[in-house]
């Protein structure tokens, strides 16, 4: 009985080795492409709300995708403001609140989505007001890929963002 079990284990072990060989080769291959990680990240649809009255704060939204490997968005900054923070909206006892987050993970098939009611880049201490039609550069820092600069368009969108950019239908 014991011999039979041992033989079975040996077979399983051999099978595992066979299986893991291509996996190891693949992992090695993926690692060699780390240098190209920055090119693998694409940020689209970056926009921010115009500032209101004398308030010098805004929030920026965008979607980031990665084609290979995994990374993390760890920081944001812009020369146009004193501070930019990664924030998340949460509901606490039915009250919408926001809090800073350390990082947001990104993987193929799991884009980083910053949108109203969710993740956003809180921009504080803007040096100039943001008006509709303006744009400004925002630097997104990823743990592996490093800095990715995106052009943020200042525009108004409906309070409940569904990614709909065209509000023409509301005009009669
Ligand atoms: Cu915020």
**pLDDT at position 6, please?**
60
Dist. CA 128 → ligand 1 center (Å) = 19
Dist. CA 118 → ligand 1 center (Å) = 9
Range in 99-103, 137-141, 155-159 the model is least confident about: 155-159
99-137 pLDDT, tens digit each: 999 999 999 999 999 999 999 999 999 999 999 999 999
Average pLDDT on 31-55 reads: 78
79-96 pLDDT, tens digit each: 999 999 999 998 888 988
Burial bucket for residue 155 (CB in 10 Å: 0-12, 13-18, 19+):
middle
Half-sphere exposure of 39 (CA within 13 A, CB side): 4
Return the closest-CA partner of residue 23 out of 10, 70, 15. Answer: 15
Dist. CA 60 → ligand 1 center (Å) = 9
Dist. CA 170 → ligand 1 center (Å) = 28
Range in 19-28, 52-61, 101-110 the model is least confident about: 19-28
Q: Residues lining ligand 1 (ion), CB within 5 A?
A: 87, 98, 122
Q: What is the mean pLDDT of the chain?
A: 80
Dist. CA 110 → ligand 1 center (Å) = 22
């Amino acid at each position: 009985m014991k011999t039979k079990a041992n033989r079975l284990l040996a077979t399983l072990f051999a099978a595992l080795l066979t299986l893991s060989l291509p996996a190891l080769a693949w992992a090695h291959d993926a690692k060699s492409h780390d240098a190209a990680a920055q090119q693998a990240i694409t940020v689209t649809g970056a926009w921010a709300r115009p500032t209101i009255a004398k308030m010098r704060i805004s929030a920026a939204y965008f979607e980031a995708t990665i084609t290979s490997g995994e990374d993390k968005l760890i920081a944001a900054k812009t020369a146009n403001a004193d501070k930019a923070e990664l924030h998340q909206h949460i509901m606490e006892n039915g009250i919408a609140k926001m809090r800073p987050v350390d990082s947001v993970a990104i993987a193929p098939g799991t884009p980083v989505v910053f949108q109203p009611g969710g993740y956003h880049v809180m921009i504080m201490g803007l040096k100039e007001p943001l008006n509709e039609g303006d744009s400004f550069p925002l630097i997104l820092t990823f743990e592996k890929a490093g800095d990715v600069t995106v052009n943020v368009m200042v525009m108004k969108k409906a309070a409940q963002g569904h990614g709909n950019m065209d509000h023409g239908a509301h005009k009669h």
